[in-house]
Homo-oligomer: A and B are copies of this chain.
Amino acid sequence: MDIAAEMRAMAQAARAASRRLAAAEGSARQQALLNLAGLLSERAADIKAANARDIAAAQARGLDKARLDRLTISDKVLASMVQGCREVAAMSDPVGEIEHMIKRPNGMLVGRMRVPLGVVAMIFESRPNAAVDAAALCIKSGNAAILRGGSEAFHSIGALTRTIHEALERAGLPAACVQVPPTTDREAVGALLKLDEYIDVVIPRGGESLIRAVVEQAKMPVLKHYKGVCHTFVDESADLSRAVEIIHNAKVQRPGTCNSLECLLAHKAVAGDFLPRVAARLGADGVRFKCCPVSLPLMGPTAEPAADGDWGHEFLALTLAVKVVDGLDEALTHIARFGSNHTEAILTESHSNAMRFTREADASMVAVNASTRLNDGGELGLGAEIGISTTKLHAYGPMGILELMSSKFVVLGQGQIRQ
């Protein structure tokens, strides 16, 4: 069988499995997740042995330390997968839930019942535990999943998938609810992305080039973000001590993530007082600054002039662009021009400015007096997340279980007809 035919067979099996998963009782989906939590611990030795093969191969190919770290399934990573499965299992069953029914003038009840999307494909890089997180969210929400990870995690993902299959089958659900292509051939991805007849949505996670390639090829809708160019505007009324800590957290806590801060906008009235404190606090952690002419003399020894390309740039590193602005209007204009619809924050004590910023900044999360790093499914109360969307169709922001679902209208009548 050629790869295209193999991918078609896989997608057809996923479609058939999705129907069984959606029609199954919530208790079966829950049991599959509890089984998975248990089996991940029981099979820890196998999983780590498979992971060791991937790591050895990656070391031989000279993968850098950051990527090796992401590839490694440590005891801590394993424990967090187990914990994640238990948390998702504990959530109430969303499939078939009706939040609210209205009664129409003709007496019929009208509500919206949550239904799975169907078949979700995820194309991701590195971190093999993403396979388990995604599988758990898809199983809970009644969606079949096709998971295509990076080639460097091939054996790890294989071992995790065998565990997922065992968990599903022990709960009386088809193993085909969660499938992984048997090859890391790129042709397999291309073939999958053509199968809009069977796959309802694709979620790419990884670098911008991976995501652009998926968008270019996919015939089904893509839920994605290309990058996170997050700004924080420090207004003249901001509590500056608190602002230093928020900026520090947003930039330094995990600089390689999409919700970390890339550009600080400071009101001119407080720049002279505030920016040297930022320079001292962040500079001590090795942050370098790309500065506008006004901020340059205020940002200490690691400051250098910003180039044009530094505005709107996603550094993903201990580098921060810094610009002094006249006030909220200029901040909003800068964000409209250079932002990426991901995360924008204002630090202010002005209620009017806070309200205007939340209305006018166009981003999947807008925050007042908080760190951009909080744009995350867990932090925002969605439970786990399968990705983040910076386009407005279907989902805008972190996507949890409910974002993997749709809703259909349910009408309960007693003979109503159209007048």
Contact = CB atoms under 8 A, between A and B. Distances in A.
Interface of A: 19, 23, 96, 102, 104, 108, 110, 113, 115, 117-118, 200-201, 221, 239, 242, 245-246, 249-250, 253-254, 336, 354, 358-360, 362-371, 373-376, 379-381, 391-394, 396-398, 406-418
- Copies per complex? 2
B408 A397 contact: yes
A363 B408 CA distance: 7
A406 B414 contact: no
B363 A393 contact: no
A381 to B, nearest CB: 5
16 contacts: A102-B381, A104-B379, A104-B380, A104-B381, A108-B374, A245-B417, A358-B410, A369-B413, A369-B415, A370-B413, A371-B417, A373-B417, A373-B418, A375-B409, A376-B418, A393-B406
Chain A binding surface, main DSSP class? mixed
Contacts of A365: 408-411
Most buried by B among A336, A365, A374: A374
Nearest to A345: B411
A393 B201 contact: yes
A13 B216 CA distance: 26
A249 to B, nearest CB: 4
B397 A409 contact: yes
Contact of A96 (B201, B250, B359, B376): B359
A104 B414 CA distance: 43
A228 to B, nearest CB: 14
Contacts of A354: 412
Contacts of A96: 359
